[in-house]
Structure 1
Amino acid sequence: MLYPAPMSEGISAGYLRSLEAIRGIGALAIVLYHLDDRLGLPFYFDNFYIGVDLFFVLSGFIIFHVYGGRIEDRAGYARFLWLRVARIYPLHFVTLVAFVAFQALTIEIGGSLAASIEPLFAHNDIWSFLANLAVIHALNLLDGPSFNVPSWSISTELYTYVVFGALFWVGLIRPDRPFAVPILIAIGGFALMAARTPSFNAMHDLGFIRNMVGFALGIAARGLHGLLPRPTTRTLTVLQIAAIAMLLVVLAVPGRSAPYLNYTVPLACAVLILACSHDRGGFCPILLLAPLQWLGRISYALYLTHYMLVLIVSALYVAAVQHGVITGKAWQPWVLIPVIIAITLPVAHATHVWVELPARTFLRQWGRLLPSAASPRT
């Protein structure tokens, strides 16, 4: 979850609530992206992968907001990493084991239903399982995405914490130095990506660089927030509209028609997050609505549990069409959007309450054995 900054920093207790909702919207976009990947929805869903870049930028903004200037020694760095592991690893482990069981059951059942899913298991072997277990599966060590595919970003996120936590520790990035190093990292990352691929949508191969770019821009956005005077609501609204317009352009243009266009996505996400971070402006009243706040709270569970459900629902749909169980023009793939939402959201909520939160609390208690260091909850 996202937590407000201490009041001593001059930020209201309501700070970050809009960002919580944005994270939920990003997770829902990824659900629809994977449904599109299986069934072929209207073309603009092809680019809903930008929800991941929204996560990366938001993560940099929040982590710098909470930890920037507070990791001052080895104990602080160790505790920071432990708290991040406690935040992301338990649910990754549970969904990995669940996917192994799902794969075994699918192969055992066989038939036409399994035939449409089994090709997705091509990279799932003992080595990729161990890589997933060690959370190194998205560090360009495997030939393709494996097991619970969305977890590639969890792998890159963990090692992004390692890098940036170290930069906080040695003082290269501090509240009074929020720009130089992050901007250099972002420029270098953009250059490395552009030299390898015209698309910014990298995963198991260049995903770590993609994550570093977004995280760095999130830090820069948080630094800019601290330097700017209190903006007017009108200014925030203009920035929100501009950022959303930039993202809509990316969604509206097929990637093959405009190579490198999606390189603008992390920049647009940084502008959007900066513009919404005051909980004011044209779109914030919507973001502050209770359903979107709830969506933000369950977003991590939604992100890691949806993929298996999408595979099952899409395979059932394909089988039903092939066997004539459902016919007619009304049964287009897009009708599954409300179905998959109705299934994934309750599962995510239950997972968040019964798995994610208890596991995180348990690991945090073990973290008390580490040397104490000032590190607020995130």
Structure 2
Amino acid sequence: MTGIRGAAALFVMLYHFHLKMIATGPLSTMLLHGYLAVDLFFILSGFVMAHVYGQALEAGTFRQRSFLLHRLARVYPLYLLATLACLVLALGRSGSPGAPLSALAANLVMLQALGNWPSMDPPAWSVSTEMVAYLLFPVIAMACLRSSRRTALITGAAALLAVLAMTFAASRHYIGAPVAKGELDLFFSPYTLVRCLAGFTIGQLLHRLYRNGVLNQVLSGNLIQCAVLLMVLATMAQALSDFPAYLALIALIATLAQDRGVMKRLFASPPFMLLGKVSFGIYLLHFQAIGLVERLRTAALHRGLSADASDWIASLTACAMVIALAWVLHRGFESPLRRMIRRLEARPATPALAR
């Protein structure tokens, strides 16, 4: 699953670099569906959590403290660095953090999703919603992994209906924002939490199907896997297709879970694996490079290049710079701190002093 995380992070980055683009054809429409890669992250996260911790839950050996420590070790060091960097940039630009103290405090503990506080680093809203999902993981897992088949079906139907209800409401302009690029481009509370918890739930139910062997033989076939990938691309190339695209993403995760076939060969290739290893850094760091894209685009235009060529040269150059920075931070900051935090779990308790 590492490679698909890299592809999704790259998709989100290109989407943000082209926010001013107007959908004029299948390629631009597909690119402007980049926010759906965040929903893929949510579904994937639920699947992976069920895969890693599901057996411990069923055996009664799951420990919430250990689980949260591992999750914090994975996300908090780089999250905190990106948040503080955005705060410093805001202070440098205007002399003000641009947010009240309550918002700053919520950002520092990754719980801004519980209120309508803005994220200092805009893409980090999804990290905050995932922290809520981690806190609720034992409860969600009970409904998805340790329940009867009927309860699991009801839970999955409720999650899908929540996503369908949001897309329908957004298509009727009952919810949404003027700058949204599509129905599920919902980046404010409480819809962010609904998006995350629905995807997290669906991911765990997918793991239950995978563990039980349902459809595994069918989904491991190369023809089916190619058809699913084409379905993802085709639905994203159509306007007003967020819910069908969401269903296609669920099918994509189900095929990737087979760990064999053409999908494995594609997303286990060295470029995607490299992107996957630094995907969290790409996701958290890229938004601040939007201004760099604009400057590079202007410089290319001044050199006489066409608008399309300038756009792609600027975007790909900025992408390469963000990926390089993410790799440096992954090797020199993210991974060492992750190991250091995880060592806290193995540290023996300090013995009481003898009286």
**TM-score when normalising by structure 1:** 0.77
How far apart are the structure 2 equivalents of 1:136 and 1:213? 18
- Number of the residue aligned with 1:12: none
C-alpha offsets along residues 45-95 of structure 1, whole Å, 9 cap, x if unaligned?
A: 111112111111111111001111413669712221221122111111110
Cα displacement (A) at 1:160: 0.8
Asked whether the equivalents of residues 90 and 98 of structure 2 are also in contact (C-alpha less than 8 Å), the reply is no
Cα displacement (A) at 1:342: 1.5
Please point out which of 284, 298, 306 is paired with 1:304.
284
Instruction: Report sequence identity in percent.
Output: 25
Please point out which of 38, 43, 65 is paired with 1:52.
38
| Residues 1-378 of structure 1 aligned to structure 2 (within 5 Å) | 19-37=1-19, 42-71=28-57, 76-107=63-94, 124-142=99-117, 145-168=118-141, 171-174=142-145, 179-180=152-153, 182-190=155-163, 193-194=166-167, 196-198=169-171, 199-205=183-189, 206-228=191-213, 231-232=216-217, 235-254=220-239, 258=240, 261-308=241-288, 310-317=289-296, 320=299, 325-329=302-306, 331-368=309-346
Q: Structure 1's 296 and 75: CA in aligned 2 closer, same or farther, altered over 3 A?
A: closer
Asked whether the equivalents of residues 236 and 242 of structure 2 are also in contact (C-alpha less than 8 Å), the reply is no
SS at match of 1:203: coil
Asked whether the equivalents of residues 15 and 32 of structure 2 are also in contact (C-alpha less than 8 Å), the reply is yes
Q: Structure 1's 223 and 303: CA in aligned 2 closer, same or farther, altered over 3 A?
A: same
SS at match of 1:283: helix
The aligned amino acid for 2:88 is A
Q: Structure 1's 229 and 139: CA in aligned 2 closer, same or farther, altered over 3 A?
A: closer
How far apart are the structure 2 equivalents of 1:176 and 1:253? 37
How far apart are the structure 2 equivalents of 1:183 and 1:230? 17
Cα displacement (A) at 1:102: 1.8
How far apart are the structure 2 equivalents of 1:295 and 1:202? 26
C-alpha offsets along residues 72-131 of structure 1, whole Å, 9 cap, x if unaligned?
A: 6697122212211221111111100011112233347xxxxxxxxxxxx99644333222
C-alpha offsets along residues 207-228 of structure 1, whole Å, 9 cap, x if unaligned?
A: 1110111111111111111222
Asked whether the equivalents of residues 4 and 267 of structure 2 are also in contact (C-alpha less than 8 Å), the reply is yes
Q: Alignment length, in residue pairs?
A: 329
How far apart are the structure 2 equivalents of 1:241 and 1:53? 21
Cα displacement (A) at 1:192: 5.1
C-alpha offsets along residues 262-308 of structure 1, whole Å, 9 cap, x if unaligned?
A: 12333222211111222222232122212211211111111111111
Cα displacement (A) at 1:369: 5.3
Alignment RMSD: 3.0
Cα displacement (A) at 1:140: 4.3
Gaps of 5+ in 1: 1-18, 109-120, 372-378
Cα displacement (A) at 1:177: 5.0
How far apart are the structure 1 equivalents of 2:280 and 2:305? 37
Cα displacement (A) at 1:368: 3.3
Q: Structure 1's 188 and 147: CA in aligned 2 closer, same or farther, altered over 3 A?
A: same
Asked whether the equivalents of residues 297 and 314 of structure 2 are also in contact (C-alpha less than 8 Å), the reply is no
How far apart are the structure 2 equivalents of 1:74 and 1:227? 21
Asked whether the equivalents of residues 297 and 310 of structure 2 are also in contact (C-alpha less than 8 Å), the reply is no
Cα displacement (A) at 1:35: 0.2
C-alpha offsets along residues 301-352 of structure 1, whole Å, 9 cap, x if unaligned?
A: 11111111x223134236648xx74444255323222212211111110111
Asked whether the equivalents of residues 53 and 62 of structure 2 are also in contact (C-alpha less than 8 Å), the reply is no
How far apart are the structure 1 equivalents of 2:221 and 2:157? 27
Asked whether the equivalents of residues 86 and 121 of structure 2 are also in contact (C-alpha less than 8 Å), the reply is yes
- Number of the residue aligned with 1:113: none
Asked whether the equivalents of residues 15 and 34 of structure 2 are also in contact (C-alpha less than 8 Å), the reply is yes
How far apart are the structure 1 equivalents of 2:216 and 2:144? 25
How far apart are the structure 1 equivalents of 2:158 and 2:76? 26
**TM-score when normalising by structure 2:** 0.82
Q: Structure 1's 328 and 291: CA in aligned 2 closer, same or farther, altered over 3 A?
A: closer
Cα displacement (A) at 1:34: 0.7
How far apart are the structure 1 equivalents of 2:143 and 2:22? 45
C-alpha offsets along residues 243-277 of structure 1, whole Å, 9 cap, x if unaligned?
A: 323322332123xxx2xx21233322221111122
Asked whether the equivalents of residues 82 and 285 of structure 2 are also in contact (C-alpha less than 8 Å), the reply is yes
